[in-house]
Copies of this chain bind each other. A is one copy, B any other.
Amino acid sequence: MELTERQARIVEIVKNSSPITGEQIAAQLDLTRATLRPDLTILTMAGVLEARPRVGYFYRDKHEPSPLLLRLRQLRVGDFKSMPAAIRANISIYDAIVTMFTQNVGSLIVVAEDHELLGMISRKDLLKAALGKTELQQVPVGVIMTRMPNIIMTTPDEPIIDASRKLVQHQIDTLPVVEAFIDEQGDERYEVVGRFTKTNVTKILVQIGTLGQ
């Protein structure tokens, strides 16, 4: 169970003195009720706390996650991924920038002829190159790309929650979606089958939140 420090303190307070109102919790933490509101909402959504109107918050000892939460955890990257925005390592940095504009993506995936994952190029990488003294028309993107094994990846069967956590933790906007294969030398390699981005995550939240209205 991953709680922020403040959420853990809220849970402790509720455990020790429930029922307790939001105002009372806020007072104990020396915070305003407004500051606590998102934490209380998320703890209640997750089933850790129970909110009874005009009574206060209770700690739910054996909290069962809501059915919706269980389904959310079952959603897989493969069902929500986008087509990969892929380029070859020998195209120029200039052409990579043009591709990024025309495809309107935040990152480009660099692949070999057989779609093997070779590298990743972010807008930041291109901006850095464009600012420097690099000859954009001459230098291939292979020179500035992030290479294996430094690429954070996901797979079609990874839960979207885990892939989303990777995006947040590594401060990137795109994960290449890959399937592993073993090459003739017996080494593991990765075939690119899509991309999973913060845009995909945002679309998922909009879809969940909008349906049934």
- Taking a contact as CB atoms under 8 Å apart, the answer to whether B202 and A45 are in contact is no
Q: Closest CB of chain B to A8's CB: distance in Å?
A: 11
CA distance A47 to B211 in the complex (A): 8
Task: Give the number of residues in A that approach B within 8 Å (Cβ atoms).
Answer: 65
- Taking a contact as CB atoms under 8 Å apart, the answer to whether B198 and A199 are in contact is yes
CA distance A69 to B128 in the complex (A): 42
**Copy total for this chain:** 2
- Taking a contact as CB atoms under 8 Å apart, the answer to whether A38 and B101 are in contact is no
Q: Closest CB of chain B to A131's CB: distance in Å?
A: 6
- Taking a contact as CB atoms under 8 Å apart, the answer to whether B173 and A198 are in contact is yes
Q: Closest CB of chain B to A74's CB: distance in Å?
A: 7
Residues on B with C-beta less than 8 A from A123 are 106, 123-124, 127
Cross-interface CB contact of A208 among B1, B69, B128, B210, cutoff 8 Å = B69
Q: Closest CB of chain B to A202's CB: distance in Å?
A: 5
Query: A185 at interface (Cβ–Cβ under 8 A)?
Result: no
- Taking a contact as CB atoms under 8 Å apart, the answer to whether A201 and B205 are in contact is yes
Query: A184 at interface (Cβ–Cβ under 8 A)?
Result: no
Query: A180 at interface (Cβ–Cβ under 8 A)?
Result: no
Partner-B contacts on A (CB < 8 A): 1-3, 7, 37-38, 41-48, 63, 65-69, 71-75, 79-80, 94, 97, 100-101, 104, 106, 123-124, 126-128, 130-131, 136, 159-161, 164-165, 167-168, 171, 173, 198-199, 201-213
